[in-house]
Amino acid sequence: MSSQQSKSNAPSVATVIQVRESLVLIEIGEDQAIRKNEVGYICVGDERLKSEVLRIRGRTADMQVFEDTTGVRVGDRVEMTGEMLSATLGPGLLGNVFDGLQNPLHELADKYGFFLPRGAITEPLSHEKKWEFTPTVEVGSLVPPGGVLGTVPEGPFTHKILVPFGLKEPAKVLQISSGEFTIQEPIGKIESAGVEHDVTMTQQWPVRRPIPASMLRRKYVERLYSETPLTTGTRIIDTFFPIAIGGTACIPGPFGAGKTVLQSTIARYSSVDVVVVVACGERAGEVVETISLYPETKDPRTGGTLMDRTIIICNTSSMPVAAREASIYMGVTLAEYYRQMGLNVLLIADSTSRWAQAMRETSGRMEEIPGEEAFPAYLDSSIKSVYERAGVMRCSDGTRGSLTMIGTVSPAGGNFEEPVTQSTLGTVKTFLGLSYDRAYRRFYPAIDPLQSWSRYLDQLAPTLNEELGANWIRDVKRMHELLREGDSINQMMQVTGEEGITLEDFVIWQKSVLLDMAFLQQDAFDEVDARMPRLRQKQSLELLKMIIDHEDHFQDRNEIRDFYTTLIGLFKNWNYSPPESPDFEKYLKEIQDAFQQTAPVLQD
């Protein structure tokens, strides 16, 4: 906040004194005040261009403009609002597609057509729709900030109406009503710190400030330890590189490695309630595919469409740089809001590389000292500050909510050593590195099992061992070691050929290929194989472990190759078979028979 803030609490009026593409330098009067992240509007004729204060130096300030700055001139008037860049939180968010400033794109298209004029804005939530409000407190109740006043139905969920997060003290309920209301109509009245407030079903919250920050200090909200695994239905993730509910993960990979398909699969099948997708800089074609696919995709959890419990923040690579940078914070704030209701929320950011590039462009225009590859010196702390907003919370009403965050990274050429990937790896606890080589060979998902890792494997060990067996984590680590050993043998064969290795090593390599082809690979477009429940993953891995653990005494390489090739085909057919179907039992028996025919030889 500027030192001049105390002189006046009224919104200021400033003047443009310099324009550098999307960055505008403004000057304020001596008796006026301004603060960082305050929103202002640059007046260009009849247009008002929304902007945000990034840096203050005396009576001047740098503002990033969320629109094209063509026509902005020195001397143009800037109307400051005195408000931070904020999100509107309330019922009606689910099922919407917003831009990075929370303008609903469908509403803008209906109002202005498909080519949006500069400065076009509309209300984030409908002011006409009525919601059936049911209070859960009585007059005289004392409710903490973020506490529940009542509920309204929203899609498949019960949407909790919360006491404003920004209050400094618990609120006493002076009046509460029930019935149908719009989001603008008061539903009650509360008193906090001696000040009375009318309460509606919406509230504003600055997007760059974590929602629970002010409440943590007063112990109304408690951050909890992540001890429950996120079930995605993708075998290589759930078994080898698990993600905790409320945890963090990243999916870096080169173009064409399958990031978009993988994130869609995770969004559809993960064990979460609400999904927030932030398309912060992806190509328009991929974003259009997401927007078109989600409303048509059946949700396996609710029976409706996936869009019913999804929010999409859309900022393509052709949209203004500043809006792309803001979209991440907008998406995280909306996700935190639903977490405060006790729901499990998944946020997928695609891709954080474009977000970092937007920061690099803005930092360059501000003439800040650059870091590695011209990214801002604060890139690392910016990435950490976003991922740190994930976590599991015990909310003020005793329920548990979580925010799990998965960011995709698009390093040029698949170079994982570049700054964005490295900063992300230093922050997240699960790394799912996509390999161009595996994608080229039609492996899906193209997650490289030898580059990827998860720090949650040991953290979740008590839960997984209790659910799947006392030795589950030990067996998973042993299977992972088999993959490494098989890869070393394969690299040796590239030099010496098959005849250059021992028969024992050839068997080990074939076992690693069996594990890779039969378990790690899935078919994202098959209704059964795209999602495998965790208990069936256990059944499949235990069957593979039984085969792999037998000591082999084959006579030649052709016999070895034929045996494991047959098993791979049977396992793949079994993976495509619905549980309890005739095909499921048929292929399971064929796998067991094929093994039993060889087992007596193996045991001699």
pLDDT tens column, 497-537: 998 999 999 999 999 999 999 999 999 989 899 999 999 99
Residue 411, annotated as binding a ligand: no
Architecture of domain 229-457 in this structure = 3-Layer(aba) Sandwich (3.40)
pLDDT at 594: 87
Find out if CATH 1.10.1140.10 is the number for domain 468-603: yes
- CATH number for the domain formed by residue range(s) 131-201: 2.40.50.100
* 233 assigned ligand-binding residue: no
H or E element, residue 179 = strand 179-181
The tokens describing 458, both together, are 């040991």
pLDDT confidence bin for 580, thresholds 50/70/90: confident
Does residue 446 surpass a pLDDT of 50? yes
Distance of alpha carbon 247 from alpha carbon 229, whole angstroms: 9
Mean of pLDDT values over 77-87 = 95
* pTM attached to this predicted model: 0.93
What number is the average pLDDT over the span 433-455? 93
Q: Determine the average pLDDT of the residues in 40-52.
A: 94
Can you tell me the mean pLDDT for 427-445?
A: 93
Give strand pairing partners of 159.
152
Q: Does 31 or 493 have the greater pLDDT score?
A: 493
- 326 a known binding residue? no
From its phi and psi, is residue 321 left (phi > 0), alpha (psi between -120 and 50) or beta? alpha
* pLDDT at residue 214 is higher than 60: no
Spatial distance between the Cα atoms of 362 and 370, rounded to a whole number of angstroms = 11
257 annotated as a binding-site residue: yes
- Cα separation, 200 vs 184, in Å, equals 6
Q: How far apart are CA 541 and CA 529, in angstroms?
A: 15
The verdict on whether residue 256 carries a ligand-binding annotation is yes
pLDDT at 66: 92
The number of residues making up the chain comes to 604
Average predicted confidence (pLDDT) for the chain: 90
**Hey, what are 267's tokens?**
């969004």
Residue appearing with tokens 């965790």: 534
- The three-state secondary structure class of 243 is strand
Can 5-84 and 229-457 be said to share one CATH topology? no
The yes or no reply on domain 5-84 and CATH 2.40.40.20 is: no
Check whether 583 has a pLDDT greater than 50: yes
Exposed / middle / buried, residue 173 (Cβ in 10 Å: 0-12, 13-18, 19+): buried
Domain spans of the chain, in order of start? 5-84, 131-201, 229-457, 468-603
For residues 144-154, give the mean pLDDT: 94
Whether residue 356 is annotated as binding a ligand: the answer is no
Q: Mean of the pLDDT values across residues 365-369?
A: 92
pLDDT band at 103 (very low <50, low <70, confident <90, very high): very high
